[in-house]
A and B are shown apart, each in its own frame.
Chain A
């Protein structure tokens, strides 16, 4: 990156590190931090949406919908994350390709499953074999977001389902006494009041999600933990201009600091949201706020 990096072996310690930390592989390492943050920022709202839909379905009066919601919550919560990440993603990918295969190559005369091979026609591949590498990576990233969202959505659904039940029934009855429809009660009374009950559970989920990102490598996405292990490993002078010993401890220390900072910032933000949601609620926290305001 810098002009003096041409022959790293001759450099002093400080410029050596300046060169070492700006190599192409280190750039990939820094990009991986951005990838993790972007993944979390997209996954959180999508998972919340899955959770909300799941909870609404589970509460539905129409039995099939309610069963669907409850099945989703129970099954996804019950399956170990690693199993889900290994099998579901390959199955999802193959399912999409199989559908495209049926549509695009209807004249194909060979079976899709040949022994252990999964074979679809070249046009049905997603992304196409000829697509640029970044397209493949973006596709993998999208699969990761969907998978994370489904898994964490199930947990969120359970939290929201519980929170909806925690809203005092008298509140809903009051709404009915005022002549509101079921839909109006749901939107105007239940949802605004449920968040304060849901937030502690949801914030827990967010914390777990932050630390679940190393699962990404199972999906072929090179996350920060992968790079820390790869870059920190002993490097022989034959294959790199920057030979060094086993530095994994230092790289993992950086990850530790990153995760701790991220967690701390999240805690502060979640606390603010909690304060905001508590305002005017018929809970102990809301009551305390009211008194503090009056005194």
Chain B
């Protein structure tokens, strides 16, 4: 009995420390994935997730600091404690959930489209480019098509333009502005592929206090409609909302 009380006291104490208002939360992101997160002309991190993350920290009364990290090592560095959250357009998947925890999604799942230079490409067995370590890359690897992977999304588009790849499979939100700006050179082709469980914020499994805090903040933004406003602002009128 005494032990239980002691354990509870320690737990309450440590929870109190974890949620203290002056705690600085370091927010990891990639900074190369517009409109989710990108480096603006001034050299600062900008985008949907920057604005959303700042608002969430505001509601949770936390001080937040943004950190840029390479996509490939973004999960190892979270787990190692170099920052506390990942907001980098990361789709919630079973594989990732084995290593880290996610908050509830802050963007509903959207099907991924193929983009190509002409309508008549062979999506079944052609050469498809995707970013390394993404859902899209994993999906293409399962199909008979040939997968070529690149470290960044920019390079997948460059490979498509140079003819190295027949098509690119990527998130709609990222491809839409690229297709729009290409003045007819790039086209959406084929059927969209439904992937993932929406985009959420990644946190360490041992950091459940922080996850609950952000979960509550996301819920409050979903309830008062401010999350929908942000989604429409960054992704346009036709985007999926809550």
Contacts and interface: CB of A to CB of B under 8 A. Distances in A.
A230 B177 contact: no
A10 interface: no
Nearest to A229: B152
- The residue among A114, A218, A239 with the most chain B CB atoms within 10 A of its own CB is A239
A115 B152 contact: no
Interface in B11-63: 17, 22-26, 32, 34-35, 38-44, 46-47, 63
B98 to A, nearest CB: 9
Contacts of A23: 41-43
Contact of B81 (A118, A133, A230, A242): A118
Nearest to A86: B73
21 contacts: A24-B44, A25-B43, A93-B80, A114-B205, A116-B79, A117-B81, A117-B204, A117-B206, A117-B207, A120-B81, A129-B23, A133-B67, A220-B69, A220-B73, A230-B32, A233-B152, A239-B34, A239-B46, A240-B41, A241-B41, A246-B154
A85 B195 CA distance: 34
A117 B25 CA distance: 17
Nearest to A226: B70
Interface residues of A, number: 41
B178 interface: yes
B205 A117 contact: yes
B213 interface: no
Interface string B197-222: 00000001111000000000000000
A230 B39 contact: yes
B154 A233 contact: yes
B35 to A, nearest CB: 6
B41 A115 contact: no
- The residue among A25, A28, A93, A129 with the most chain B CB atoms within 10 A of its own CB is A129
A96 to B, nearest CB: 12
Contacts of B47: 239
Contacts of A250: none
B154 A234 contact: yes
B151 to A, nearest CB: 9
A203 interface: no
B65 A133 contact: yes
A237 interface: yes
Given A115-B206, A129-B25, A136-B67, A242 B41 contact: yes
B77 A237 contact: no
Given A125-B81, A129-B84, A240 B40 contact: yes
Contact of A90 (B17, B24, B80): B80
Given A119-B204, A129-B26, A233-B152, A238 B177 contact: yes
Given A109-B10, A119-B81, A237-B181, A129 B39 contact: no
A222 B206 contact: no
Interface string A233-268: 110111111110010000000000000000000000
Interface in A117-160: 117-120, 122, 125, 129-130, 133, 136
A217 interface: yes
A94 B17 contact: no
A136 B32 CA distance: 21
A284 interface: no
Contacts of B23: 122, 129-130
Contact of B80 (A118, A233, A246): A118
B25 A25 contact: no
- The residue among B41, B65, B70 with the most chain A CB atoms within 10 A of its own CB is B41
A27 B39 CA distance: 13
Contact of A238 (B35, B152, B207): B35
Interface in B157-209: 157-158, 161, 177-178, 181, 204-207
Given A117-B204, A129-B23, A238-B177, A222 B68 contact: yes
Given A129-B23, A129-B24, A220-B82, 17 more contacts: A25-B42, A25-B43, A109-B10, A116-B205, A117-B79, A117-B207, A118-B79, A122-B23, A218-B70, A220-B68, A220-B73, A222-B68, A233-B152, A236-B178, A236-B181, A239-B46, A243-B181
